[in-house]
Structure 1
Amino acid sequence: MGRLKEGIFGGFSGKVGNVIGSSCRGVEYIKSAPAKMTNPRTKSQTKQRSSFIITQNFLRTMIPIIRIGFKDYAIDGKSAFNAAMSYNMINGIKKVFDSNELDFANILISRGSLSTSPVINAIVTDDLLQFEWDPILNENAKSTDQVMVIAHNAAKGESVFDVNAGKRRNASTYLNMLSHWKGDAIETYLAFKDESGTLVSDSCYTGQFTI
């Protein structure tokens, strides 16, 4: 059984279905137990299942982020997670030879109308992933908007994230990396949400780095 730590938007410990919540040196992270394909009937069906499974396994590692980032698309009985699945299966998959792979640069972990920042960068220093952005207030942006940041380790099927990593006006924040990620590549993202959590921005892919 899993245990929620900070309500539905926080992390959790234990296992719920194929999702495992853990903590390492004070860093909360989520890991997805890989889903398996059974009985593929045709080559086309196999590719479709492959797209579904790799997208599902990716998004399962960041469920609290997805619940916030895609909540505006949780309509007509569809959950935020299902909305994220639908969007990213169409826009976040690329074909490499005869197989499907995640197109990390085109994946969205948050989708909304809140203004983002014209300049967003990330850099790895020691065990820290540092993010910087231009805090300029365009359109509906406010200085009190919160920042959400995430690092995904595809090789290990794990993600580290913070749904309240600081305010837009701070212009920078960071994530602690897990010690067992040393030498691994990570995919990184940043998004904004307003203070009430009503509005969110589209997420920004901030690049791949090696820890």
Structure 2
Amino acid sequence: MGTYNKGILGPFSGKVGTVVGASWRGKDILRSLPKKTDRTPTETQMLQRLKFTTVSEFLTPISNVITRYYGSGSGELTRRNQAMSYHMKEAVNYVDPNFVMVYNKVQISKGDLLGVQNPTVAVPGGDKITYSWVDNSGQGTAKPTDQLVVVIYAPTENLYYSLLNAAVRSDGTINLDMPTYFNGLQVQSWITFAAADGKSYATSVYMGAVTIG
């Protein structure tokens, strides 16, 4: 892959001959077309592709969180790519014949803001789920207005539920009314804090498995 400032007729996108022109992270780039091959992929290659697909399919429904709050927004790698790299290495295992996510290692955010202190989760009944935490506003850069971000996932039905501003740090607790189709399902969940302006955020906390209803 190469970058260029001016083509003969300025920047272009699409395929021309054996190269493809595109814009990526504010730069005009040229890429060569992939070579066709008749070779059958090895078992290792097939497993790597399956691993990539598993992680990608898990993260895609929460892209609204990942693309805001995962890692750094500068540098060569996008936030999405940083999240993919971490989860490919740390948060997926092979259980023949498939790869499965390791939920206690999943991160919905990764940053330097002071995180959630002493979090708990409970299901008081109905379609509700309750999160509680210690208000640690004033410690470091933590502010009362930091927003609680929540991601809830029901593996058996592949259902996701996310909120970017479920509560603020100073609330100390939140009772969420879940959609009725989550009733009776076991869910995994993760919570984190993000500054009100979105410029800083904490590394998320895994809250374990509970059953709604």
The runs of 5 or more residues in structure 1 that have no matched partner are: 1-38
1:51–1:174 Cα change, 3 Å: farther
Q: Which residue of 2 aligns with 1:114?
A: 113
Tell me the SS of whatever aligns to 2:117. coil
- Determine if contact 1:61/1:159 at 8 Å carries over to the other structure: yes
Kept in 2, the 8 Å contact 1:93–1:103? The answer is yes
1:147-169 CA-to-partner distances (Å, cap 9, x unmatched) read: 10110112222211110111100
Tell me the equivalent position of 1:26.
none
Partner of 2:160: 159
- Number of residue pairs the alignment of both structures matches: 172
Contact 1:165 1:174 in 2 (8 A): no
150 and 101 in structure 1: CA distance in 2 versus 1, 3 angstrom threshold: same
In the alignment, which residue of structure 2 is the partner of 1:12?
none
Displacement after TM superposition at 1:98 (Å): 5.5
Larger Rg: 2
Residues 45 and 115 of structure 1, relative CA distance in 2, 3 Å threshold: same
Aligned amino acid, residue 149 of structure 1: V
| Contact 1:61/1:158 (8 A) holds in 2 | no
CA RMSD of aligned residues (A): 1.9
Structure 1 CA distance for aligned equivalents of residues 65 and 45 of structure 2? 30
Measured against aligned partners, the alpha-carbon deviations of 1:92-147 in whole angstroms (never above 9, x if no partner) come to 11233564210000010100000013301111232011111111233221111111
CA contact (8 A) 1:161 1:175 kept: no
- Tell me the residue number matched to 2:133: 133
Taking only the aligned residue pairs, the percentage that are identical comes to 24
Question: Within 5 A, what are the aligned runs for 1:189-208?
Answer: 189-208=190-209
Contact map agreement 1:92 1:106 (CA 8 A) in 2: yes
Distance across 2 between alignment mates of 1:142 and 1:97 = 46
Distance verdict in 2 for CA 1:199–1:42, change over 3 Å = same
Q: What's the counterpart of residue 58 of structure 1?
A: 58
For 1:95, the equivalent position in structure 2 comes to: 94
Q: What per-residue deviation string (whole Å, max 9, x for no partner) do you get for residues 58-87 of structure 1?
A: 1111111112211x4233343222221111
Q: TM-score, normalised by structure 2?
A: 0.74
Q: Which residue of 2 aligns with 1:145?
A: 146
Give ranges in structure 2 of 5+ residues lacking alignment. 1-38
After superposition, give the CA deviation of every residue in 1:28-76 in whole Å (9 maximum; x if it has no partner): xxxxxxxxxxx97222222212221111111111111112211x42333
Alpha-carbon distance between aligned partners in 2 of 1:73 and 1:42, rounded to the nearest angstrom: 35
TM-score (norm 1): 0.75
Distance 1:50 1:40 in 2: 15
CA distance, structure 2, for counterparts of residue 89 and residue 200 of structure 1: 22
For residue 165 of structure 1, give the secondary structure of its aligned residue in structure 2: strand
Alpha-carbon separation, structure 2, partners of 1:46 and 1:124: 41
Please tell me whether the aligned partners of residues 116 and 192 of structure 2 are also in contact (alpha carbons under 8 angstroms).
Answer: no
Task: Report if the CA contact (8 A) 1:57-1:157 is conserved.
Answer: no
* Contact kept in structure 1, 2:116 and 2:205, CA below 8 Å: no
Secondary structure in 2 matching 1:44:
helix
